[in-house]
Structure 1
Amino acid sequence: MARKDDESAKADLGEDCRTDSGIELFKSISKDDDDMKAAPERSSGHSDAGKDKLYSVTEERVDSAYGSAFSMESLMEDCRLTDPEGAPSAQVTSGPQEEANLLATITDDGDTVLHLAIIHEALDLTQQLIDLFPKDVLDIQNNLYQTPLHLATYLNLSLVVRSLMQKKANVELQDQDGNTPLHVACEQGQIDCANEMIKEISTRQFTKVLKMQNWRGLTCLHLAALHKNYRLMKFLMKKGADLNVQEGTSGKTALHLAVELHDEVLVTLLLNKGANVDATMYNGCTPLHLAVGRQDAMIAHILCQSGADKMLRNMEDETALDLADGNDDILALFPFDDIQISGRSVVGVKF
């Protein structure tokens, strides 16, 4: 009988140790999952800046962890992984694999406690979890296919990005829009986060990520161009990005996009860095075709000054001049001997 009581006491002690380790908190998290569907609201003491950034790219996520019923202060207290002196807390009686699985328990939104800590910008807890988790847990994707690295980048938490990269977090995983974390950095203009990613990966892997397209066919360079982020564009160019890479839907290069945006600064930057002035889309259109077709005489002038071939034809058998549509400013860019009759150049024609 005494032995039975002793075994019962040991079992109770084991349960106490689990609670002290912070793992027991997941029971309460699971119980509160339904409450997470309340209206999104950040805990007091935090600004709304990070929340707004996250919602701008995950607006369909109604069940966001921002609406969780528990406070991050309470979560941090319950999930304290070390005692005040910095020594490890009581060890759980389960093996390492079971501990990792418990710590990676997910909510209905697919978020681990690391996702939640990053979303709420609980930096101390985030760092402790990164130190504790093995790489495979760091790369868990939630229901929107976002990894902790995606979220840290959205919220511009460059120190968290650094810690994740030092633990070899995967930079090639794509979210529901096909964006890698580096795509996110280029779309959101987070140059510090991009720099932290590049520091920790090989040139070969960086080149591979730069070539990856999201589900809209856009690479990192295209996203930076579309958002007119000149600083990031220069950063990517310095790191060896291919200026002539084509997006997947119509074959536009960054120069085509800059022309469509009527962005003279970006057009000039790309040309000065060696972008192909005569790069063609899948339909054969060059940047000059686009500039003339959009009646942008200034950009057409810049392209012509950079040596654009005015006689190249697209798949409709049209030169840029064919698209001038009587615009005198654009027609003035073409020399007299480039005049065409019925779409054909008269140069060299014998009458």
Structure 2
Amino acid sequence: MASGDYRKDAFAEESRVDSGIDSYCSIVKPEEQPREVSEPREKFSSVDERLDSSYGSTVESLAEIVEACNIATEEPSPSAACSGFTEKEENIITSITEDGDTILHLAIIHEEALIANQLIQLFPKEVLDIQNNLYQSPLHLATYLNLTDVVKSLVIKMVNMELQDHDGNTALHVACHHGLTMCAAEMASEMSPSKLSRVLETQNWRGLACLHLAALSRQHQIMKLLLTKGADLNIQEGTSGKTALHLAVEMNDSTSVKLLLSNGANVDAAMFNGCTPLHLAVGRQDATISNLLCQSGADTMLRNLEDETALDLADGNDDILALFPFDDIQISGRSVVGVNF
């Protein structure tokens, strides 16, 4: 049976499986705390109780189906590999649920890594790239659940790592946001430089690239990984033009600020409104990060679209004003430093 013959009608309406991801995969707002690595798995606790009755009442039914297949070393078509199946069994293994999940999606949701890896060897590549109704590929789900071995198997089979889910996230976006370092490393190490570059430049529907998500979630190890893989330090997110350095400043994350600056981030990068990282740091009364930026050569005289310098935002903070020893000399509200008379 060709991959285009995959049917949705093999599953009875009353025995529907929900993918269990809908309420989970929305990206948190920048001000929220980063998630623990184990949280994606916890989010799926209720899914174990909703195994589709078409597969039987236990996960062992999935195993029995897979064990009956002839797992070949090459990439056989499902019909060839499952030629010993009854019509009912073949319908099950080649069907898609009403939620768009294949049997591989379901095996991953139930964290049955052995079964998932067997199915990955069984199915041709085009089946491995099927996206469910939430546009999640098996790679997305394996990453959410931190199933590193499954991620590795999918990557080795050269699945499409540029696929975006309903939030616009690639699987690498997911790994960067949730601190799944090993999953991110597997994907980054196997992609060609050109493909990796495209993924790193991809923005989700909130305008955030992988580096932005890692910065927002304080994922320092993943930030280091992305930088070694050539991520653009100064890529701007699509809504306000912030770079990862702007986001690190907003998160009051001096570790990320140091990491980005030491790797050559543009200390004077301007948002769409003209604000530099120093504007943001001073506006937040963050003397520590303001000092880091000044030590890295931040231009204290740059003005945003409101015609404000960073000094204008100091609001009498003595610790921050000490960073601008002469900038408080003004005529008609404008600094006279550097002005020739």
Place the TM-score, normalised by the shorter chain, in its bin.
Answer: 0.7 to 0.9
In the alignment, which of 11, 16, 25 is matched to residue 30 of structure 1? 11
| Comparing 332-341 and 109-118, the one that deviates more | 332-341
For 1:250-329, list aligned pairs within 5 A. Answer: 250-329=240-319
Task: Note closer, same or farther for the CA distance 1:200–1:251 as it changes in structure 2 (3 Å cut).
Answer: same
Greater C-alpha radius of gyration: 1
**Can you give the 5+ residue segments of structure 2 that lack an aligned partner in the other structure?**
2-6, 22-35, 74-79
Specify whether residues 326 and 113 from structure 1 end up closer, same or farther in structure 2 by C-alpha distance, changes over 3 A only: same
**Does 2:68 match 1:81?**
yes
Q: Does 1:163 align with 2:153?
A: yes
Equivalent residues in 2 for 1:110-149 (5 A)?
A: 110-149=100-139
Tell whether the 8 Å contact from 1:33 to 1:108 is kept in structure 2 after alignment: no
- Confirm or deny: 8 A CA contact 1:100 1:133 kept in the other structure: no
The 1:324/1:342 distance shift into structure 2, 3 A limit, reads farther
C-alpha distance in structure 2 between counterparts of 1:328 and 1:239, whole Å: 41
2:30 is aligned to none
Q: Give secondary structure in 1 for the equivalent of 2:196.
A: helix
Cα contact 2:19–2:99 (8 A) shared by 1: no
Instruction: Mark the CA change 1:131 to 1:334 in structure 2 (over 3 Å): closer, same or farther.
Output: same
Out of 36, 43, 50, the position equivalent to 1:67 is 50
**In the TM superposition, what are the counterparts of 1:199-210 in structure 2 within 5 Å?**
199-210=189-200
State the secondary structure of the residue aligned to 2:161.
coil
1:152-196 CA-to-partner distances (Å, cap 9, x unmatched) read 111111111111111111000000111001001101111111111
Query: Are residues 113 and 243 of structure 1, via their aligned partners in 2, closer, same or farther at CA, if it must alter by over 3 Å?
Result: same
Question: For the structure 1 residues 238 and 348, does the alpha-carbon distance in structure 2 shift closer, same or farther, using more than 3 Å as the test?
Answer: closer
- C-alpha RMSD over aligned residues: 3.3
Q: How much does 1:197 deviate?
A: 1.2
SS of 1:196's partner is helix
Matched to 2:58, the amino acid is S
Partner residue of 2:83 out of 71, 91, 113: 91
| Aligned partner of residue 67 in structure 2, secondary structure | coil
Alpha-carbon deviation of 1:126? 1.1
Counterpart for residue 8 of structure 1: none
Deviation at 1:341, TM superposition (A): 3.2
Once the two structures are superposed, residues 65-106 of structure 1 have per-residue CA deviations (whole angstroms, 9 ceiling, x without a partner) of 75124211122113323479x9x9872599xxxx99863311
Give me the whole-angstrom Cα distance separating, in 2, the residues matched to 1:80 and 1:340.
80
Q: Look up the equivalent residue of 1:115 and give its one-letter code.
A: H
1:150 to 136, 140, 144: 140
- Give SS of 2:11's match: helix
Q: 1:343, CA displacement in angstroms?
A: 3.2
Aligned residue type for 2:266: N
Gap change, CA 1:201 and 1:38, over 3 Å in 2: closer
Q: Is the 8 A contact 2:82 2:90 kept in 1?
A: no
Q: Distance in 1 between matches of 2:195 and 2:90?
A: 28
Q: Which residue of structure 1 lines up, in the alignment, with residue 185 of structure 2? A: 195
C-alpha distance in 1 between matches for 2:65 and 2:39: 27
- Rounded to whole Å, the distance in 2 between the matches of 1:66 and 1:284 is 52
User: Which residue pairs with 2:76 in the alignment?
Assistant: none
Q: Deviations over 1:254-313 (max 9, x none)?
A: 110111011111111111111111011010000000001011111111111111000000
Partner of 1:6: none
Shift, 1:31, TM fit = 2.9
1:100 to 1:310, Cα distance in 2 relative to 1, 3 A: farther
**Inter-partner Cα distance in structure 2 for 1:272 and 1:164:** 34
Report the identity percentage. 61
| Aligned pairs, number | 309
User: SS of the counterpart of 1:336?
Assistant: coil
Partner of 1:244: 234
Q: Which is richer in helix?
A: 1
Any idea what SS the aligned residue of 2:118 has? helix
Structure 1 residue 53 and structure 2 residue 11: aligned? Answer: no
Report the 3-state secondary structure (helix = DSSP H, G, I; strand = E; otherwise coil) of the residue aligned with 1:30.
coil
Residue 319 (structure 1) shift: 0.5
Counterpart in the other structure of 2:24: none
How far apart are 1:33 and its partner, in Å?
Answer: 5.0
Q: Which moved more, 1:122-131 or 1:341-350?
A: 341-350
